């Protein structure tokens, strides 16, 4: 099976549609949470994911948009956007988000938003955090997001190694445990504004990371019209 792995879409429909068009036929679409928040198209993105039968997990922005957690932990622009999202999503969108679990296990993969030991909140950005989390899931591999930066942490006989995948990087699934982050579809933060996603091939036993241009200006125009904070609009061009 060829499976699309999409994380941190953040209500950015032009980015999601560019990815879906580039993917063509896939056997499944998995998402790793933060479907909404920051971006201008929460209902449209949820409708598109429902249309393609995507399955996945909930992120901290999804939780906040549902009003399930205190948004004062967010920076002011993120909080503004999440309150804007919570105030406008339809009951269908809300129900779809409410149904997302915190964690999914599908065959050899665990899916979470942040980390396996703290599925909604933890950022895996350091070797000690990666080491602890590489021992915190029951399957051989774990897919996660939340940092908006593509990364693969592998456990090589107790040594934790970090690989930074670029466009076209193919990671082989072997004996080593892996914590794999495909980057963000809707708000990349590694200095490359192109959308990021991965394709998992369970027959070839590979995960390949891709980067792709999308119509950033279309998303930004919609954000301007919605009155979303300027800093959030500008960061899409910088990929920061
Ligand atoms: Zn996010």
pLDDT value at position 74? 87
How far, in Å, from the CA of 52 to the mean position of ligand 1?
21
- The answer to whether residue 157 scores a pLDDT higher than 90 is no
Rounded mean pLDDT, 145-166: 95
Predicted confidence (pLDDT) per residue in 172-194, tens digit: 999 999 999 999 999 999 999 99
pLDDT value at position 151? 98
How far, in Å, from the CA of 9 to the mean position of ligand 1?
8
Per DSSP, the residues of 110-143 read EE-SS-SSSTTT----SHHHHHHHHTS-SSSEEE
Q: How many CB atoms lie within 10 A of CB 114?
A: 24
pLDDT value at position 173? 96
Rounded mean pLDDT, 30-50: 98
How far, in Å, from the CA of 38 to the mean position of ligand 1?
9
How far, in Å, from the CA of 74 to the mean position of ligand 1?
11
Average pLDDT of every residue of the chain: 96
Beta strand 141-143 with 177-181 is: parallel
Predicted confidence (pLDDT) per residue in 219-238, tens digit: 999 999 999 999 999 999 99
pLDDT value at position 156? 86
pLDDT value at position 71? 75
pLDDT value at position 69? 80
Beta strand 28-31 with 2-6 is: parallel
pLDDT value at position 163? 95
pLDDT value at position 72? 79
How far, in Å, from the CA of 157 to the mean position of ligand 1?
31
Q: What is the pTM of this model?
A: 0.97
Beta bridge partner(s), residue 25? none
Smallest Cα–Cα separation from 49: which of 63, 29, 67? Answer: 29
Predicted confidence (pLDDT) per residue in 55-84, tens digit: 999 999 999 999 988 777 788 999 999 999
Domains contained in the chain, CATH given: 2-238 (3.60.21.10)
User: For the sheet containing 177-181, what is the strand order?
Assistant: 104-106, 109-111, 141-143, 177-181, 151-156, 159-163
Predicted confidence (pLDDT) per residue in 113-129, tens digit: 999 999 999 999 999 99
The answer to whether residues 26 and 2 touch, using CB atoms and an 8 Å cutoff, is yes
């Amino acid at each position: 099976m060829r499976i699309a792995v999409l994380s941190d879409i953040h209500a950015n429909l032009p980015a999601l549609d560019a990815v879906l068009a580039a993917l063509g036929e896939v056997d499944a679409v998995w998402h790793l949470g933060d479907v909404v928040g920051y971006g201008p198209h929460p209902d449209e993105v949820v409708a598109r994911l429902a249309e393609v039968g995507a399955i996945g997990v909930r992120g901290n922005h999804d939780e906040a948009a549902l009003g399930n957690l205190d948004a004062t932990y967010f920076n002011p622009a993120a909080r503004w956007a999440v309150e804007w999202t919570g105030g406008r999503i339809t009951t269908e969108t809300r129900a779809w988000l409410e149904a997302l679990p915190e964690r999914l296990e599908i065959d050899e993969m665990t899916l979470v938003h942040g980390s396996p030991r703290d599925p909604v909140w933890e950022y895996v950005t350091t070797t000690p955090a990666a080491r602890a989390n590489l021992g915190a899931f029951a399957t051989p591999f774990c897919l996660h997001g939340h940092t908006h930066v593509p990364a693969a942490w592998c456990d090589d006989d107790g040594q934790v190694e970090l690989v930074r995948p670029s466009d076209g990087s193919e990671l082989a699934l072997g004996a080593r445990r892996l914590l794999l982050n495909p980057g963000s579809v809707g708000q990349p933060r590694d200095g490359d504004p192109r959308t990021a996603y991965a394709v998992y091939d369970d027959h070839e036993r590979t995960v390949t990371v891709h980067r792709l241009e999308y119509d950033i200006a279309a998303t930004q125009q919609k954000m301007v019209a919605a009155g979303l904070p300027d800093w959030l609009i500008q960061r899409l061009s910088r990929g920061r």
